[in-house]
Chains A and B, each alone.
Chain A
C-alpha cells in the first residue's frame, strides 16, 4: 500500500514534468502542472496516513477506537490545494491573454524573451 502510494507520487511528478517540458499548448501545460502538483498532495496525505486510522475529528463525536490519521499533513495538503488553485487560475488567465495578443497558444511560437 505504502510503496504503491510513493510510486504513484513519483510517477505523477515525473509525468507531469514531462508534460510541461514537451507541451505544445499552454492550456495543456497548465493541466500538466496540476498533475505534478497532485503528486505533492498525495505525498503529504500518504505521510500522514495511518493504517486503520480514523478521521482526525475529535469534537462532538463518540470516541473512536484506535489512532487518527495526522491532521497536520491534511492541513498542509489543503493549503497546497489552495496555492495550486491560485496558480492554475493565474496561468490560465495569462494563457487567455497570450491567445488574445499573440494569436497562439504554442509556447514555442511565443518567443518574446529569448536571448
Chain B
C-alpha cells in the first residue's frame, strides 16, 4: 500500500529532519543572516510537526514498527533497535512540534540577538522528544531522556548573566542527572534479568514471572528516574527553580511537553514491561501512582496560589497539572489514559499560551512580579485577554479540548470506583486557575490592594518572594534597559501576540472536532494493549495484526451535560478563588492560609542539597512501595 510505503520512510525522517536542522543551525548559523536562521528553524519545526501528525494518523488502528537498518527480530527475538509508533506517542511528538514551532516564532523578536545555538538546542530538544515518544527500546528511551535533559539544562541557563537562571540550571542539571543515573541502573538491572533492551522482549520474558528483589529494585530505579523528570512530589523541587528562571520560549517547551514525557515513560514502561508480572500487581500499583498524583496535584496548586512571581506561579500550575495527569494515567485504564492525554494536549497548549503572554508582559513592562505590575496592564489588552482565556481553559472551560479530557477522566474515575478523585482534581484545578486569574485581575483591572498581596504571599518579612522578584526583574531589567533606548512603549510585535492566540485556537479547534474523545480512547486502548504491542513488535504472529477494538466512550447526553456542568463549576470556582484572593474583606482568611502553608514554602529552599536529599528519600520510598506492590 502506498500509504504504508511512505509512512515507513516518515518514521525515521521525523527524527532525522530536526537533527539535520539542528546540525545546520549549529554549524552554519554564522554564514546565514538572522531572518534566514529564524525561517529555517521554524520551517524545520513545522516540518517535524507535519511528519509526526502524519504518523499520528497513519498509526491509528495498528502500531507502525520500524527496525533501524532492517535488523528485524529473528524467531521472536529482537536483535535490532525499533521504533514502535502508536497514535498516542505520535500525538505527544506532534504536541512537541507545535510548541517548538510556536516558541521559535516567538523568538523572532523576543531575543535581541538570538544566536544559532539557541535554535539548534531547541531543535535537538524537539528531536529527542520525538525519539522519546516513538522508541520501542529501553536504552534508546534513556538516551532520548538524557539528550532532552542536557539540552534543557543548557536552555535553562541560556541567560547566563543572572544568578537565578544559573541556579535554576544547576539545580535542574544535578537532580535530573541523578535521575538519569538511577534510570540507567534500572535499565542495566532489567538487562541483567532478561537479556534484552527491547521493551516488548523484556515484557515477554517477565510475563507470568513472580517479581524478585532485583526486579523491584529495577522498577524503583527506572520509575524513580522518570518521576524526577516528571517532577512528581518529592522529586519536584527542581521544577519551579528551572521553569521560573528559564527564558520564556524555553518555558513553553518545558511546561508543554518535557515533564509530561517523564509520565509517558512511566506508563509506557509499566504497560510494556512490568504489568505482565504474576501476582496481580495492577490494583496496588494503581494505589501507588494515584497517591503520588494526588500529592503532586495538591502541593502544586497550593504553592501556585502562594506565588507572586508569575513564571514561578505557572511552574507550580504545571506541576499541579502533572499530578492530575498522573491521577488519570495512574488509574491504569485506557479511558483514564485517554483523558489524561487530552488534558496534556489541552492544558499544554493553554499553559504555553500563558507563558508566552507573561513573556509579552515581561518584554513590555520589565517585570514578572504580580505586585509590581498591579494596574499596569493598559495597552496590553490582547495579552490580558489571552492570559484570562488561558486561565479559564486550565479550569477546563468547554468547549476547549481540555474539557473533553476532563470528562473522560471523570468517567474513568467513576468506572474504577473512585469517584472522589473528581473532587481532588476539581480542587487543584480551581486553586491553580484561580491563582492565574487573580494575577490577571490584579495586573489588568488593578484589583486588590498592595497589603492584600503581602498577606496572600505569606508573611510580610518573607525574603523569599523579594529574592525571587529581584532576580526576575533583574533579568527583565537588563533586557528593558536595552529596549528603552529604542522606546519602551513601542507596539508589541505580532510574532509575540499571535503564537499564544494560535495555541488557544488550536485547543478550541480540537475541542470542537467531533470524535476527538473516540480517537483518544482508541489510541489509549492501543497503548495499553500489552499483548498486541508485543505481537506487533516481535512479529510473533505474522501477517494480520488484529485491529485494536475501540473502547466505548460513554457519551450519553446526561453524562456529557453533567461533564459540562462540572467544567462550568470549576470555572466558577476559579473565579471565586481569584475574587477571594483579591477581596479586601477576606484578608484574615488569606493570612490564615499563608500561615498554614508557610512550612511548605520553606521546604522549597532552592538549595540543591535539600533537593537531592528529597530525591534519595523518594527513591527509598518508591522502592518500599514497589516491594509492596509487585510482590
Contact = CB atoms under 8 A, between A and B. Distances in A.
A79 to B, nearest CB: 6
A101 B609 contact: no
A69 interface: no
B492 interface: no
A95 to B, nearest CB: 8
B606 A83 contact: no
A1 interface: no
Interface in B134-183: 139, 143, 146, 150, 153-154, 157, 160-164, 166-171, 173-174, 177-178, 180-181
Contacts of B612: 17, 20-21
A95 B173 CA distance: 12
Contact of A101 (B161, B191, B604, B613): B161
A113 B609 contact: no
Interface stretch (B111-119, B237-245, B527-535): B237-245
B174 A83 contact: no
A37 B157 contact: no
A94 B180 CA distance: 19
Contacts of B143: 79
A115 B240 contact: yes
Interface residues of A, number: 40
Nearest to A83: B146
Given A29-B608, A44-B188, A47-B192, A97 B181 contact: no
Contacts of B467: 111-114
Given A43-B185, A47-B192, A113-B245, A20 B163 contact: no
A90 B173 contact: yes
A107 B191 contact: no
Interface in A58-115: 72-73, 76, 79-80, 83, 86-87, 90-91, 94-95, 97-98, 101-102, 107-108, 110-115
Contact of B606 (A80, A95, A98, A114): A114
Contacts of A91: 153, 170, 173-174
Interface in A1-25: 13, 17, 20-23
Contacts of A94: 157, 160, 166, 169-170, 173
A36 B178 contact: yes
Nearest to A91: B173
A76 B187 contact: yes
B351 to A, nearest CB: 20
Contacts of B613: 21
A61 B20 CA distance: 37
Contacts of B471: 112-113
B433 to A, nearest CB: 20
B607 interface: yes
Please indicate which of the listed interface residues A44, A111, A112, A113 has the most CB atoms of chain B within 10 Å of its own CB.
Answer: A113
Contacts of A86: 150
B76 interface: no
A113 B241 contact: yes
B608 to A, nearest CB: 5
A28 B108 CA distance: 39
Contacts of B244: 113
Given A87-B177, A90-B173, A113 B608 contact: no
Contacts of A76: 139, 184, 187-188, 191
A114 B178 contact: no
B614 to A, nearest CB: 10
Contacts of A20: 174, 178, 608-609, 612
B343 interface: no
Contacts of B168: 113
Interface of A: 13, 17, 20-23, 26, 29, 33, 36-37, 39-40, 43-44, 47, 72-73, 76, 79-80, 83, 86-87, 90-91, 94-95, 97-98, 101-102, 107-108, 110-115
Given A73-B188, A112-B467, A114-B468, 11 more contacts: A79-B139, A83-B146, A90-B153, A90-B173, A94-B160, A95-B170, A112-B164, A114-B605, A114-B607, A115-B468, A115-B605
Interface of B: 139, 143, 146, 150, 153-154, 157, 160-164, 166-171, 173-174, 177-178, 180-181, 184-185, 187-189, 191-192, 197, 240-241, 244-245, 303, 306-307, 312, 464-465, 467-468, 471, 601-602, 604-610, 612-613, 616
6 contacts: A39-B181, A97-B166, A111-B606, A112-B163, A112-B468, A113-B164
